[in-house]
C-alpha cells in the first residue's frame, strides 16, 4: 500500500494533507524518515510513526453512531442526508450501515466494512436482539402485552416472533425483537390498536447506545465491544 493512502485510511488527513506531512519529514517507516508519498509499505508489518505516535492498520473498522431523525440508513441517497455523511471516518473503507433504522427513527446504528460480521448479526437464525425505546399513543393493556410477547399479525405471511415488552410508564415502553421486518415496531403497535409517536434504538446485540453521544455523533467501538459483537 502507498504510504499516503495508509495515512488517509487512518484518517490522518486528506490526500493532499498527508502528502504535505510526509514531505515535512514527520512520518517514518521502520525508523527511517520517508518523504515520498508513493513509498510502498507493508501495512500489516511495517512500523509507521506519525509525529512520534505509532500507527496501526486495521482492515475492518466499527463505528457506533447515534443516528438522528431525518437521516437515511444508506450509503447514498439522491434526496436525503445519509448516515455515512455524519461520520468522521477514513476514506476508502467501503463502510455501510448494519441493517437500517427508519428515517424518523433515532438511536444506535452500527457502521462497518466487515461484511461477514454484518451478515451474522442480521441473520434471523442467530436471533440477535434489538431493543427500542418507544413513545406510544396510549397505555398498553395486559392483553396487548401478551399479544406482542406471543406474536402479532402485521400483514406478513407469518406472525412476528415473540417479543419482550417492558412498560416504563403509560406512554413509554421498551420493545425487544430479533427480527428486522420493514417498519416492524410501528406495525406491531398498530396490530394492537396503538401508535408509535417516537422511536429510538438503545441496544443492538451486546451493544448499548453510548448516551454520551449526541444525535449525529459517532465513535469507534472499543476492542472489547468488537469482541462482544463477534461472540454474539
DSSP 78: S
Nearest to 207 by CA among 135, 117, 136: 117
Question: For residue 166, how many other CB atoms are within 10 A of its CB?
Answer: 12
Q: How many helices (H) and strands (E) does the chain have?
A: 6, 13
The number of CA neighbours under 13 Å toward the Cβ of 145 is 13
- CA 123 → CA 42, 120, 127, 179, distances in Å? 35, 5, 7, 9
Q: Which of 46, 81, 102, 210 is catalytic?
A: 102
Cα(43)–Cα(93) distance, integer angstroms: 15
Q: Is 102 a catalytic residue?
A: yes
Cell numbers that stand for 17 in this block? 494533507
Cα(182)–Cα(192) distance, integer angstroms: 17
Cell numbers that stand for 208 in this block? 448499548
Nearest to 62 by CA among 117, 119, 143: 117
Quote the distance between the C-alpha of residue 2 and its chain's center: 29
DSSP 126: G
Cα(17)–Cα(114) distance, integer angstroms: 27
As annotated, the active-site residues are 102
Amino acid at each position: 500500500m502507498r504510504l499516503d493512502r495508509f495515512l488517509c485510511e487512518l484518517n490522518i488527513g486528506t490526500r493532499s494533507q498527508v502528502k504535505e506531512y510526509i514531505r515535512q519529514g514527520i512520518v517514518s517507516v521502520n525508523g527511517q524518515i520517508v518523504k515520498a508519498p508513493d513509498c510502498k509499505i507493508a501495512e500489516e508489518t511495517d512500523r509507521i510513526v506519525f509525529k512520534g505516535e505509532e500507527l496501526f492498520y486495521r482492515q475492518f473498522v466499527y463505528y457506533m453512531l447515534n443516528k438522528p431523525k431525518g437521516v437515511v440508513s444508506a450509503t447514498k441517497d439522491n434526496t436525503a442526508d445519509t448516515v455515512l455523511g455524519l461520520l468522521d471516518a477514513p476514506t476508502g473503507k467501503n463502510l455501510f450501515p448494519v441493517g437500517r433504522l427508519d428515517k424518523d427513527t433515532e438511536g444506535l446504528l452500527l457502521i462497518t466494512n466487515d461484511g461477514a460480521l454484518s451478515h451474522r448479526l442480521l441473520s434471523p437464525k442467530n436471533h440477535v436482539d434489538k431493543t427500542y425505546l418507544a413513545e406510544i399513543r396510549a397505555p398498553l393493556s395486559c392483553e396487548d402485552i401478551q399479544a406482542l410477547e406471543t406474536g402479532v399479525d402485521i400483514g406478513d405471511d407469518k406472525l412476528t416472533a415473540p417479543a419482550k415488552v417492558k412498560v416504563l410508564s403509560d406512554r413509554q415502553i421498551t420493545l425487544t425483537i430479533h427480527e428486522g421486518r420493514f417498519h416492524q415496531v410501528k406495525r406491531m403497535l398498530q396490530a394492537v390498536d396503538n401508535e408509535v409517536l417516537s422511536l429510538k434504538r438503545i441496544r443492538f446485540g451486546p451493544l448499548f447506545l453510548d448516551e454520551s453521544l449526541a444525535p449525529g455523533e459517532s465513535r469507534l467501538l472499543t476492542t472489547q465491544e468488537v469482541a462482544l459483537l463477534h461472540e454474539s
